[in-house]
Structure 1
Amino acid sequence: MADLEVLLFDVDGTIANTERDGHRIAFNEAFAEEGLDWNWSVELYGKLLAVTGGKERIKHYLQHFNTEFQLPADGDAFITHLHKTKTAHYTRMMAEGAIPLRSGIKRLLDESREAGIRLGIATTTTPENVTALLRSGLGDEGESWFEVVAAGDIVPKKKPAPDIYIWAMEKLGVKPDVCAALEDSHNGIMSVNDADIPTVIITVNGYTEHEAFPGANLVVDQLGDPGTPCKALSGSCEGRSYVDLDLIRSLHAG
């Protein structure tokens, strides 16, 4: 196995637990602002997460959970506007510090930068959402920590398709065998697997803890920190109480 050179991070659910108390709330605020009587409960949103991408999620909701709603003549424009309204609410929430980074993320990023590991983002959320979260959690220069930010609609197919990871690796000029990915969902690991990235660490959350993660090297409840240990759900932390760069290198080496 080639030496580890790159860490690629998913965002929502991986860098921060943004889904239930971030994106879901922002969607509901957007619905209210636009005069819609829709409300996505915690349970319903868990079902909607089967589809990646905000605009795609709205379409899925209308096709399967709110079939009586009549879209305007230009349905795509309506959904795009609604999603932009939601993004505005989400970025405001992030600017207010509503969602902290998950345990171990800042530490692992610091370790990786110090060791010369290249960092990238591979996500289906919008670039505006990524920027807002990184600035909130890492400061105004947080986005610059990542050499490439692959986000939103820059590829034709979203996760579980591998397109976003392939695009990120092309921009970095690297092959899959020098990469490791950090994800939180079944859709995410399927995307990583089909991009031929050999090393995957999964940090589950309340929405994904019961999903299947075929091919994952390690599944944990969180990356953990000193004093806040992680729990291995599948695979081994090799005697460590939290996931650090040395552990990821060991997993990558096989």
Structure 2
Amino acid sequence: MRRLSAVVFDVDGTLVDSERDGHRVAFNAAFAEAGLPDRWDVETYGRLLAITGGAHRLAHWFENTGRTPAESWDLAQRLHRRKTALMRDMVSEGRIRPRPGALELIERLRAGGLRLHVATTGTRAWVAPLLAHTFGAVFDTIVTGTEVPQLKPHPAVYHEVLERTGLLPEQAVAVEDSANGVRAAVSAGLRCVAAQNSYTRTHDLSAAHLVADGLDDPELITWFDQYLRKTSRSAPRPG
């Protein structure tokens, strides 16, 4: 096994609490602005998270509420643009918060000499300002759904991170929260740690090397510490 060199983070539901009180709120605001009766409560949105990508989620919803496929996709694209702008406003207002333990874990990994990257299906228009506002300039590579059209569970976003960084899959660990995310990371050949949340506790995360209750779970911290010790021991000594 090669020494661990990098950690690749998902964003939504992994680094930040963005789904229930972020995206869902922005989607509902976009519905209201457009004069549509559609609203997603907490439970409904949880079910819709099985569909990766906001525009695809909207199109699925519209098709299943009586609209034609063509009409659904056109409406989904228009609403998704507005929803992204609303989400960006929420980010600038500081309304999207890091998950408990996220800042501490990032600091711990950086102190251990690991490079940090991001592989997300979120839109760069809100992902980039969110990461900068919440975490600062800690991520060396950020690949989003804007650059990679194939969404998770397709492994394309992870392949893109590996290509940009020159990493081999065995040199990196992915941190995800959902079944689709775990499948994407594992399909790309990465080890994966799942930090589940209230929406993903019922997901099949069995392909992950570890399933933790969050980023502040002591088991997750211990898991990374063992790899940080291996990395430290295998690093070349000065002189």
In 1, Cα distance between equivalents of 2:95 and 2:54: 19
In 1, Cα distance between equivalents of 2:182 and 2:28: 28
In 2, Cα distance between equivalents of 1:97 and 1:221: 25
Does structure 1 residue 215 correspond to structure 2 residue 207? yes
In 2, Cα distance between equivalents of 1:83 and 1:247: 42
Partner of 1:102: 99
Gaps of 5+ in 1: 225-229, 232-236
The count of aligned residue pairs is 232
Does structure 1 residue 205 correspond to structure 2 residue 197? yes
Partner of 1:168: 161
In structure 2, the CA distance between the partners of 1:87 and 1:4, relative to structure 1 (3 Å rule), is same
Partner of 2:151: 158
In 1, Cα distance between equivalents of 2:99 and 2:14: 7
TM-score of the superposition, structure 1-length normalised? 0.84
Identity percentage over the alignment? Answer: 38
In 1, Cα distance between equivalents of 2:99 and 2:57: 24
In structure 2, the CA distance between the partners of 1:215 and 1:251, relative to structure 1 (3 Å rule), is farther
Partner of 1:15: 15
TM-score of the superposition, structure 2-length normalised? 0.89
**After superposition, where does 1:58-207 map in structure 2 within 5 Å?**
58-64=58-64, 66=65, 68-69=66-67, 76-138=73-135, 142=136, 144-197=137-190, 199-207=191-199
Gaps of 5+ in 2: 232-239
In 2, Cα distance between equivalents of 1:78 and 1:59: 8
**Secondary structure of the corresponding residue to residue 191 of structure 1:** helix
- Amino acid paired to 1:162: P
Does structure 1 residue 52 correspond to structure 2 residue 52? yes
Query: Superposition RMSD on alpha carbons, in Å?
Result: 2.2
In 1, Cα distance between equivalents of 2:105 and 2:70: 47
Give the Å deviation of 1:129.
2.0
More helix by share: 2
- Amino acid paired to 1:18: S
